[in-house]
Amino acid sequence: MSEQEKKDSLVLKGCAHLFGNEVNTDIHCSNKYMLDKDIAYVAGQAFKQLDPSFQERFQSGDVIVAGKNFGNSSSREYAAQVMRYMGVSAVLASSFNRGFFRNSINNGLPVIECDTKDIETGDHLEIVLDTGLVNVTDKGLTLQSTPLPREVMAILEAGGLLQYLRQNPNW
């Protein structure tokens, strides 16, 4: 990857889709209650119960935005895999459940802790991963998120923990 390409991959652009506090991804984005379904089916049902119009609006590259404790009591890493399959470019929330946060990093899904109260569904977002800056472009707003530690960024850049290990066998 050239330096320029690397820089571009650290900037994510997408449209915001807003959810509230305490989203349980075991319920809204996993196969916990549909063990026999494949990932395409689960992805097609994701977040429908929280917002019936979500599936129509959502486009690959968009950003999920939520309030506190996103991924609450969720333990399944399948949720992060489903979101990547859907093309979610990042999840922005005021806080995350520990397990969900960890699973997302391990599966290459950027999770960004940030005060999300000024973001609405439909806002265009530009997220600079290494500095943690979040621009709400049409509102002229710039938010500072908690920047991800270097070690975590390295896993995300590789696309997940197993991909990272392939590139860095001496982790």
Partner 1 sequence: MGFTIAEKILGLHSTGEPVTAGQVVVAGIDFLMIHDGRALGALAAYKQLERQDLPFASKTALVMDHYTPPPTAHTADIHIAMRSFSKTHGTVLYDENSGISHQLLPENGHVTCGDIVMATDSHASSFGAFNSFGCGIEGTDAVAAMISGKCWFKVPETVKVILNGSLPPGVWAKDITLHLLSIFGVEGCNYKAIEYQGEAVATMGMDDRVTLCNHSAELGAKAALLEADDTTKSWLQAHGACEPHPVSADPDAIYSRKIKIDTPALEPLVARAHQIDQIVKAGEAGGESIQLALIGSCTNGRLSDIRQTAAILEGKKVAPGVRLMVTPASREVYLAAVREGLVETIMEAGGSFASAGCGPCIGISQRYIPGSNERVISSANRNNKGRLGNPEAEIWIGSAATVAASAVTGHITDPREIAGGTWREV
Interface ranges with partner 1 (CB under 8 A): 73, 75-78, 97-99, 102-103, 106-107, 149-152, 155, 160-162, 165-166, 171
65 Cβ contact list (under 8 Å, min separation 6) = 16, 17, 18, 19, 91, 92, 93, 116, 119, 121, 125
Classify residue 87 as left (phi > 0), alpha (psi -120 to 50) or beta: left
Q: Which is nearer to partner 1, 138 or 151 (CB)?
A: 151
- Using CA atoms, how far apart are residues 170 and 55, in angstroms rounded to an integer? 41
Name the strands in the sheet holding 90-93, side by side, starting at the edge strand that comes first in the sequence: 111-113, 90-93, 63-66, 11-18, 124-128, 133-136, 141-144
Least distance to partner 1 from the beta carbon of 164, Å?
8
Q: Is 50 in contact with 28 (CB distance < 8 Å)? A: yes
Instruction: Fill in the DSSP letter of residue 33.
Output: T
Least distance to partner 1 from the beta carbon of 120, Å?
28
Q: Which is nearer to partner 1, 83 or 125 (CB)?
A: 83
Tokens of 58: 């959502």
Q: Which is nearer to partner 1, 131 or 168 (CB)?
A: 168
Q: Which is nearer to partner 1, 122 or 149 (CB)?
A: 149
Q: Which is nearer to partner 1, 136 or 152 (CB)?
A: 152
The single residue listed with the structure tokens 């917002």 is 51
